[in-house]
Amino acid sequence: MKHNRRQWLGALGAGAAAGAFPQNVAAQGEAPKAGPLDISDYQPKSMLRIKETKVARSRYPVIDVHSHLSWTRKSQNGVSLAGERRFVWPAERVLQTMDRKNIRAMVNLTGGYDSGLEEAIAKFDKAHPGRFYTFTEPSYSRLLEPNYPQLQADAIAQAHRAGARGLKILKTLGLYLRENITSGKLVAIDDRRFDPMWDACGQLNLPVAIHIADPVAFFTPTDRFNERFEELNRHPDWSFHGLDFPSLAALLEARNRVFARHPKTQFIGLHVGHMAEDLDNVSEALDRYPNMSVDIAARIGELGRQPRRARQFFDRYQDRILFGTDAVPEGHETPQQIFGDELYEIYYRFLETDDEYFDYAPAPIPPQGRWRIYGLRLPDEILRKVYNANAAKVLRIDI
């Protein structure tokens, strides 16, 4: 029937003036032919006429538990070594955006260690009390020394005395750090040499913000079936598939063994516990490990395309979900999280409104994948917890 209708419509228009048809219609009833288009140039605009809500300021003050206000240039294998050049944002510039967007405080996860940590704390935490909280990082350069476990535990105590408010574990551990730092066997997340470090954090009430894996797509072939093909095609070194990396499941199992062995240490599973694509998996971990919480940094693109399941997740774990963005400076290799007004407005829109089908990042789509998201419209009780109360509890600060 559809074929006959097309023939009838073509015949009906046959007597119309020739100028009424596009010149690139080759034959009767044939659609205009488009020229070839590179997929990277394809930026479709939605034809939907739907509500668009601008949320300039969050409904409640925000504690962003996941930002990078200072960082260390890393070697090619992702390992930060002593003496590497450090970068620090101007605090005054950051505060301007914070005040516009109702951000009460920001956690700088990558504060480094030793003199680098002291520099970051001086420029942020001490210069602007109550607005910034800086985390330290492990020093892996002395990993092979026989007394490294105690040295690293002592370093945590020293960082605490210097003013550090927590420990950040980058995916360096488990995916890049090797026995002789640059080559050899990968060091496992649950390596016993780190047990004193985890225990020191628990004893000093320092939360551990841990990032041990990337999205599922990074562990699968970069082919036509990969939903992040364009992202991985632009950054082939981001893929962990087919080399000597552990599987995503193995990384999560090793992380879970750490959680189980150190119940008195509070862990924040960054990026929705590293599995925003599988909220049942994250839920199982949260149910099993009461010392675990999660943040939503750089994962509203995953949460927002499963809004009904995500809303159930927020309802059930409303006391253990923290607000975070993974905000980075302009020019960073992950442009979807560039620090600025637009980034926060998207997060606020996702959490506060029931808007439909909007971009999950300020960068041109697709920074991660070709989809859009839907708002959760969280009730005030949950919004307060996610925006600040849960973070304040983990950080042991007043709001």
Average of per-residue pLDDT across 110-122: 95
How high is the pLDDT of residue 3?
Answer: 45
How high is the pLDDT of residue 200?
Answer: 98
pLDDT above 70 for 315: yes
Long-range contacts of 191-194 (CB under 8 A, 24+ apart): 192/149, 193/143, 193/148, 193/149, 193/152, 194/138, 194/149, 194/152, 194/258
Enter the tokens of residue 341.
């007004």
DSSP state of 136: B
Each residue's pLDDT tens digit, 247-293:
999 999 999 999 999 999 999 999 999 999 999 999 999 999 999 99
Each residue's pLDDT tens digit, 161-172:
999 999 999 999
Each residue's pLDDT tens digit, 362-378:
877 668 899 999 999 99
CA separation for the pair 296, 66 (Å, rounded): 9
| pLDDT band per the 50, 70, 90 thresholds, residue 71 | confident
Instruction: List the domain boundaries for the chain.
Output: 60-395
How high is the pLDDT of residue 73?
Answer: 64
User: Please, where are the H alpha helices in 23-113?
Assistant: 91-101
C-alpha torsion sign, points 363, 97, 94, 275: negative
Q: Which CATH superfamily is domain 60-395 in?
A: Metal-dependent hydrolases (3.20.20.140)
The torsion angles phi and psi of 72, rounded to 5 degrees, stand at -110, 135
Mean residue pLDDT across the chain: 89
| pLDDT band per the 50, 70, 90 thresholds, residue 209 | very high
How high is the pLDDT of residue 42?
Answer: 86
Which amino acid, 23?
A: Q
Q: pLDDT: is 16 or 384 the higher one? A: 384
Strands in the chain per DSSP E:
62-67, 70-72, 86-88, 103-108, 132-134, 167-169, 208-210, 267-269, 292-295, 321-322
Strands in 68-194 per DSSP E:
70-72, 86-88, 103-108, 132-134, 167-169
How high is the pLDDT of residue 182?
Answer: 66
Average of per-residue pLDDT across 89-102: 96
- C-alpha separations of 287 from 280, 282, 292, 295, 313 in Å: 10, 9, 9, 16, 12
Enter the tokens of residue 7.
């023939």
| Residues 312-343 as b or e (16 or more Cβ within 10 Å = b) | ebbeebbebbbbbbbbbbeeeebebbbbeeeb
Which amino acid, 84?
A: E
Average of per-residue pLDDT across 209-214: 97
Enter the tokens of residue 375.
């708002």
pLDDT above 90 for 77: no
Average of per-residue pLDDT across 105-133: 96
pLDDT above 90 for 225: yes
